[in-house]
Chains A and B, each alone.
Chain A
Amino acid sequence: MSGSRQLKLGAFMRPASIHTGAWRYPGAFSDANFNFAHQKRFIQTLERGKFDAYFMADHLAVLNMRIDALKRSHTATSFEPFTLLSALAAVTERIGLVATGSTTFDAPYHVARRFASLDHIGNGRAGWNIVTTSNPDAALNFGLTEHVAHDERYPAPASSTTWSPACGIPGPTTPSSATWTPASTSIRKSFTCSTTRARITRSAARSTSPARSRAGP
């Protein structure tokens, strides 16, 4: 069972499906966002179907929608992904466990340690979906008042991520040089992410971002 004609199947999961109308479909579990038994059933079904990986997408804030839209949404928010995937690791054997981990707000150590733990709990099944965070409301959850600019969220082209021994997670290419300090109003902060050697400048200006204004009260 190998060779280029073989399919690989991953599953892009949201707790109640990715489709915003799915929670109202006949037979749907409308409480799936915070019901572990349902998530366990889904991943065990996928494993029975020999899927390569289960991927749970994540956001670091409630969706930035007006409340009238949010009330009719399939998922306003759900389980924290490492808590969920660690539990799912214990009820599965072979399927990959892929979680979203944002580099926008956490220090490299936080991210590396969580994925290393998940990888060992699942016996080598962890995957890290590297993201930067685009939801402007997430910045507010980390004590920032303005969102990090797109180009600053991504590393400089000369960056390099290298690999740690057992589990294939990235480690620092240089001795740890994270110097992040919590931002405060009107002070320009910066930190160097040693994982990617990206210099991310955090602007903590007082103004509210346009996207935040859009999101409403």
Chain B
Amino acid sequence: VIVQAGASEAGRQLAAETAEAVFTAQNSIAQAKQFYADVKGRMEKLGRARDHMKILPACFVVVGETMEEARAKRAKLDSLVDYANAIASLSIALGADASKFYPDGSLPDTPETNQGKSARERAIAMAQRENLTVRPAPRRLRRPCHGRYAEDHRRRDGRMADGGRLRRVHHHVPYLPGGLDDFVGKVVPELQRRGIFRHEYEGKTLRENLGLPRPRNRFF
């Protein structure tokens, strides 16, 4: 199974040509829809069936019995990040040395570099939209996933699925092993109870489970 993750112009085109699964992170539902339509549209132009690619948006899930507990866990986790390390991570996203920025000043616009393009664009767009300063920027880049917040659903994945739009999720585990144990022990059974996630694997191969067709043998 071919997977692709870059969201630059070249990355989208490569995905449309080759990918059967795409990992992506978008700032908003509107941008995610635009990305989805763009990549699937490129596939069609190339003569590929739209359904032969599954797009998996990133979803950073912190599980709590209540929203307050989940937020407290997230705050605890963020508080454990070393400042120099956070700024270094931001530098990698931007392709520029963020340690030279004033921590409480606005995140400056930085020129495009030879490194990854979409991570930089996402960081700058978010900083401009939210008037973000440098210090909290790294943790804002890893936000919980979007979804429709309705009723008393205590788990974010349930909300997303209830929104009716999200059918594939790339789960970013917040901390190990606890964050993973909570997801598998609490969220998965809830998704299964709602009838939106499998109880058993459908197939034996990754391709079968994702619902992707087997490529034709082109040699013999």
* Interface contact A19-B1, CB-CB below 8 Å: no
Q: Is A79 interfacial (CB 8 A cutoff)?
A: no
Known contacts A6-B167, A21-B77: A161-B184 contact under CB 8 Å = no
Q: Is B193 interfacial (CB 8 A cutoff)?
A: no
Q: Is B171 interfacial (CB 8 A cutoff)?
A: yes
Secondary structure at the A interface, as helix, strand, loop or mixed, is: loop
* Interface contact B82-A130, CB-CB below 8 Å: no
Q: Is B6 interfacial (CB 8 A cutoff)?
A: yes
Among listed B27-35, B129-137, B174-182, interface-contacting one: B174-182
Q: Is A24 interfacial (CB 8 A cutoff)?
A: yes
* Interface contact B85-A65, CB-CB below 8 Å: yes
Q: Is A84 interfacial (CB 8 A cutoff)?
A: no
* Pick from B82, B113, B170, B175: contact of A22, CB under 8 Å: B175
* Pick from B6, B116, B201: contact of A94, CB under 8 Å: B201
Most buried by B among A46, A49, A132: A49
* Interface contact A64-B92, CB-CB below 8 Å: yes
Q: Is A73 interfacial (CB 8 A cutoff)?
A: yes
Which residue on chain A has the smallest CB distance to residue B84?
A: A69
Interface residue tally for chain B (C-beta within 8 Å): 92
Most buried by A among B58, B191, B205: B205
Q: Is B43 interfacial (CB 8 A cutoff)?
A: no
Q: Is B40 interfacial (CB 8 A cutoff)?
A: no
Interface residue tally for chain A (C-beta within 8 Å): 87
Known contacts A124-B207, A128-B1: A8-B167 contact under CB 8 Å = yes
Known contacts A8-B56, A11-B173: A48-B23 contact under CB 8 Å = no
| Minimum CB–CB distance for B120 against chain A, Å | 10
Instruction: Determine the chain B residues whose CB is within 8 A of the CB of A207 once the complex forms.
Output: none
Question: Which residue numbers of B lie inside 8 Å of A, CB to CB?
Answer: 1-6, 8, 10-11, 13-14, 17-21, 23, 54, 56, 58, 60, 76-82, 84-89, 91-92, 95-97, 99, 113-117, 138, 142, 157, 161, 166-181, 183-184, 188, 191, 195-202, 204-211, 214-220
Which 9 A-B pairs have CB atoms at the shortest separation, nearest pair first?
A124-B205, A96-B206, A21-B80, A49-B184, A163-B215, A72-B82, A154-B10, A69-B88, A21-B81
